[in-house]
Chains A and B, each alone.
Chain A
Amino acid sequence: MSLELRAITKRFGSVVANDTISLSVGPGEIHGLLGENGAGKSTLVKILSGFITRDHGEIELDGTKLHLLSPNEAVANGIGILHQEPLVFLPFSVVDNFLIGSPKEYGHAEAYEALSRISEQFGFDLNPDVSASNLSIGERQQLEIARLLWLGARVLILDEPTTAISSTQREKLFATIRDLAGDGMSVIFVSHKLEEVQELCDRVTILREGKIAASVDLPSPVEYLVSKMFGTGVLPQTRRAKVNGSSLLELVNASASEQPGQIIDANLAVTRGQVIGLAGLEGAGQRTLLRAMAGFVPFTEGSFRVQSAEISELDYLDRLGLGFYYLPADRQREGLVNGLSITEHVALSVTDQSKVIDWNVARSEAARRIDKFSIKGTVESTPESLSGGNQQRLLLALMPEAPLLLLMEHPTRGLDIESATWVWSYLLTLSESGTSIIFSSSDLEELTTYSDQIAIFFSGRIIDQVDASEATVEELGLLIGGVRQR
């Protein structure tokens, strides 16, 4: 079995989710597909599973070109996908789940026989008669793998399969994958977890912002892989003088958890005007920390003090009142209101207590901000008609003039260089006037260039905090990959 992808391209509006992706997986090969959220992994998996169709490019399985216009076609051609959430019908029995989607001529007898044969071969312990709702996630994955094999899968694609399973289940899953590869199956293992790809795969393709950033044999040095996953931008180097502001906030032994993500025992001190970068693999805790500081996720332990006042009990709206401001990575879903014009956004953002809106004032204020923030749009433009860079400018334009603390996820993700440069020059002006900024990023150069301090996350913990002026990209790669602590 060998799978060959040639120049797969898929765009969604202005976003090129997959940009001429080529890769080949030979028989018996376990091929890792690694990348941060939004790098284009899911799009590629959806194309291979027939859920969406590619704009350009070719897919070849054992020398035969495939069209893959529907999930049925993918299954019929022997492409089996194990989805992040196994597709199991919970009220049905294991054997009924096993039968779903199989050709009509098979009945229960064949299903029982095949299920026990495959289970035995891979050491699965699946009772065909129990309800699927009694199975753990790991067992549901086994059921799904068994089903895909019975349907004749020749290529197996596993999409983030370890997200919800225990470490013993993971060991079992990895053993199964190795067995399958040993039998000559081609396997694609999709993940954002570096250590798992290192452990399991023969070769890895790293995606970043829709493009292939690297394709190398494993094992390979962690810092190299991290630097490829994170990439290094082309942002101008503008190192600035160290700030020596007064203390603003203090996080002591703080823990919080959400689905997915957690922080454990985090300590962080921030002074006025300081810029703190949060570095780590996706899901290592940076996002949870930002959201907990903003007030969306409660701290379960520890204390969070701002200018010596304990504020961990305050909710988001209270913290807004204190001068906090949060800018999300998903600007259209969480930041802006599609369908409302820029003028209406401006009217929304003002804290004017009058009941009736003076639309003339709002329009001229909107025009002033469009001009000041160089937004390419009119007062009547709606967010969905703006590019990513202009959406980010609009979000900044809607922010109160000088917030006390700005919490930002991926300030420049998806932005063109001009917008990214503009955004940072604006942010640095803010910090000089006293705003403290905490931001997460998956761009190592963004982190080293604009932060004063970089906090490094690994598995929910802040494992180190380094002075950005002394940090090198290589060293950060090692720390982020969890290879060593300083």
Chain B
Amino acid sequence: MNALQQTKYFAGAITISLVVSIFFLWLVEAPLVDTAKLLVEGAFGTNQRIGDTFMIWVPLLLASASLVVTFSAGLWNIGVEGQIVAGAVAASFVAREVQGSTAVVLTLMVIGGFVGGALWGLLVGVLRVRGGVNEIFGGIGLNFVATGLIVYLVIGPWSRDGVASTGGTEPFGPQAWFPTIDGLRVSPLALIIAFVALVSVMFLLSKTHFGLRLRATGKNSLAANRFGIATSRYLLMAFIIGGGIAGLAGVTQAGAVYHRLVPSISGGYGFLAILIVLLARFRGLWVIPIALFFATIAMASFQWQLRLGLHSALGGVIQGVLVLSIVLVMGYQEGRQHREQSNIRGNTAL
């Protein structure tokens, strides 16, 4: 498969998703030109909007980086949402309990959030490796538990004085707020954390023995074991690292976006990141533009609803169509490649 052919398939997938998206827009009688204009304007029209788009980009990048690790190990870590929540809970704990300078508190929040997410991920991993529970089911189960935990905290021990509402905890003290640039809601520090995490993941997977062994385990754990790799340990490590990075998304959501703990802290970004990573074919570099595009659509759907009266679900529909077309086309391409390869090999002697 050469680059030209691959580009052709990719272009085909984009065309399909465009056509289907336009069909949906036509179905809900949306003005096409305005919808397209608002896609760009809604996300990048003003500095503020750019800031907001980047604010959504951060958790998408972090959750995607997390999933690149677990996917490389051959794992479907649906539990990424719960790991984001666990990171947010741990960071909130630090923000509520630790007194000190901003530098100290934020550092501890980041460490705490990583550890929280890592432990939550490790739970899924232990269930899988020791208990034989598929990580999809373990992950979904623990997502519910995490949601329950956060609601319990928000209306129970961490509730606002005299209020028992699911609206959220008291805001953190100012020392637990991620610094922002005047007038923008995105924190440059959060953006830096996201990029450091993603680049670290790419480095880990492509340049280190650990990453190579992890990838081998993901592709064929039986053969990896024959090479002397303790595959269970590597699976657990993937859950720890992936969970930890997902936990960082929880940290930035709590510390840089909401400045408190709210029940919807994960914002569904974990699930969205699964789509991003599928689209990126598990490659870290591709995650960057695709996550940005998903953030763009998320921002645009606010504007679509506000200015054109379109339903807010439309953004999700377009994201879904895009992923389905790409996965479909890539699946077709792989099937074809496979057939061609067997034909070629069929015609040569053993």
Number of interface residues of B (CB under 8 A): 26
Q: Is A485 an interface residue (CB 8 A)?
A: no
For the complex, give the distance between the alpha carbons of A344 and B224 in Å.
12
Closest to A387 in B: B350
A340 touches B216 (CB 8 A): yes
Q: How near does chain B come to A88, taking the closest CB pair, in angstroms?
A: 25
Query: Interface residues of A toward B: which range?
Result: 35 or more
Q: Is B345 an interface residue (CB 8 A)?
A: yes
For the complex, give the distance between the alpha carbons of A389 and B350 in Å.
7
A12 touches B342 (CB 8 A): yes
B220 touches A337 (CB 8 A): yes
B219 touches A338 (CB 8 A): yes
Of residues 228 to 251 in B, which have CB atoms within 8 Å of A's CB atoms? 228-230
For the complex, give the distance between the alpha carbons of A317 and B234 in Å.
14
A334 touches B342 (CB 8 A): no
Residue picked from A15, A320, A356, most chain B C-beta under 10 Å? A356
Select the stretch in B128-136, B202-210, B317-325 that faces chain A: B202-210
B223 touches A337 (CB 8 A): yes
Residues of B within 8 A of A359 (CB): 207
Q: Is A414 an interface residue (CB 8 A)?
A: yes
Q: How near does chain A come to B224, taking the closest CB pair, in angstroms?
A: 6
Residues of B within 8 A of A334 (CB): 222-223, 226
B208 touches A340 (CB 8 A): no
A337 touches B209 (CB 8 A): no
Inter-chain CB contacts under 8 Å: number = 82
Q: Which of A13, A357, A385, A415 contacts B209 (CB 8 A)?
A: A357
A388 touches B216 (CB 8 A): no
B350 touches A344 (CB 8 A): no
Select the stretch in A56-64, A236-244, A346-354 that faces chain B: A346-354
Q: Quick one: given A336-B223, A337-B219, A340-B216, are A317 and B228 in contact (CB under 8 Å)?
A: yes
Q: Is A231 an interface residue (CB 8 A)?
A: no
For the complex, give the distance between the alpha carbons of A326 and B215 in Å.
22
A328 touches B208 (CB 8 A): no
Q: Which of A335, A351, A356, A415 contacts B350 (CB 8 A)?
A: A415
A333 touches B228 (CB 8 A): no
Q: How near does chain A come to B85, taking the closest CB pair, in angstroms?
A: 32
A357 touches B208 (CB 8 A): yes
A355 touches B210 (CB 8 A): yes
B216 touches A337 (CB 8 A): yes
Q: Which of B209, B212, B220, B226 contacts A326 (CB 8 A)?
A: B226
Q: Is A339 an interface residue (CB 8 A)?
A: yes
Q: How near does chain A come to B206, taking the closest CB pair, in angstroms?
A: 9
Q: Is A196 an interface residue (CB 8 A)?
A: no
Residue picked from B207, B220, B226, B348, most chain A C-beta under 10 Å? B226
Residues of B within 8 A of A328 (CB): 226
B346 touches A356 (CB 8 A): no
For the complex, give the distance between the alpha carbons of A389 and B230 in Å.
28
Closest to B347 in A: A14
Q: Which of B208, B229, B341 contacts A355 (CB 8 A)?
A: B208
B341 touches A13 (CB 8 A): yes
Q: How near does chain A come to B222, taking the closest CB pair, in angstroms?
A: 5
B208 touches A356 (CB 8 A): yes
Q: Which of B225, B227, B345, B350 contacts A416 (CB 8 A)?
A: B350
A385 touches B341 (CB 8 A): yes
A333 touches B208 (CB 8 A): no
Residues of A within 8 A of B260 (CB): none
For the complex, give the distance between the alpha carbons of A351 and B348 in Å.
35
Q: Is B213 an interface residue (CB 8 A)?
A: yes
For the complex, give the distance between the alpha carbons of A349 and B207 in Å.
15
Q: Is B3 an interface residue (CB 8 A)?
A: no
Q: Which 9 A-B pairs have the closest CB atoms?
A: A13-B342, A14-B345, A337-B220, A13-B345, A337-B216, A339-B219, A320-B228, A416-B350, A337-B223
Q: Can you list 12 A-B pairs, Cβ within 8 angstroms, ordered by A?
A: A12-B342, A13-B341, A13-B342, A14-B348, A333-B222, A344-B216, A347-B212, A348-B212, A351-B228, A355-B210, A357-B208, A387-B345
Residues of A near any B CB (own CB < 8 A): 11-15, 316-317, 320, 326, 328, 333-340, 344, 347-349, 351-352, 354-357, 359, 384-385, 387-389, 398, 414-416, 419
Known: A348-B213, A359-B207. 8 other contacts (CB 8 A): A328-B226, A333-B220, A335-B223, A337-B224, A338-B220, A352-B209, A356-B209, A387-B345
